Amino acid sequence: MEHIIKTYKEDEMINITSIVRDTVKESNVSSGIVTVFVPHTTAGVTINESYDPDVVTDILSTLKKLVPENPHYLHLEGNSHAHMKASIIGSSCTIIIENGDLKLGTWQGVFFCEFDGPRRRTFYTKVIGEK
């Protein structure tokens, strides 16, 4: 299933857990897996703490330190730092479905990670399993 989201900042992590959860519920799959896939080269998806918003802020600030903007990158578009952050984070996540719901830890959430926003973005979910 295709999902469209709008990002508002250059670097941003948007909690998409409720979208993924609703997709699983609508599929009526009770036991299986759901994959979340981001078809972009300067955005990604990850699972991390959704309870304390400072965690997301710390992840984004640490990625900024790890991958600074640098005028000497070869890629002429000027957004090599965003491509590198996207590769560090990765473009897909797989979550187990049990009893028709996501088998996430208490503090876990699924985050769409924007590194070259703001933009209109897409991600896909694919639910596989038994009803």
- Chain positions contacting Zn ion, by CB under 5 A: 77, 79
Min separation Cβ 11 and Zn ion, Å: 15
Tell me whether residue 69 or residue 77 sits nearer to Zn ion (CB atom). Answer: 77
Q: Which is nearer to Zn ion, 73 or 124 (CB)?
A: 73
Least Cβ distance, residue 7 to Zn ion (angstroms): 16
CB closer to Zn ion out of 29 and 82: 82
Which residue of this chain has its Cβ atom nearest to Zn ion in the complex? Answer: 77
DSSP E strand boundaries for 1-131 = 2-6, 12-15, 31-37, 43-49, 92-98, 101-102, 108-114, 120-130
**What per-residue string of b and e applies to 84-100 under the rule 16 or more CB within 10 Å gives b?**
bbbeebebebebebeeb
Q: Give min distance, CB of 116 to Zn ion, in A.
A: 7
Q: Does the bond joining 39 to the residue before it have cis omega, within 30 degrees of 0?
A: no
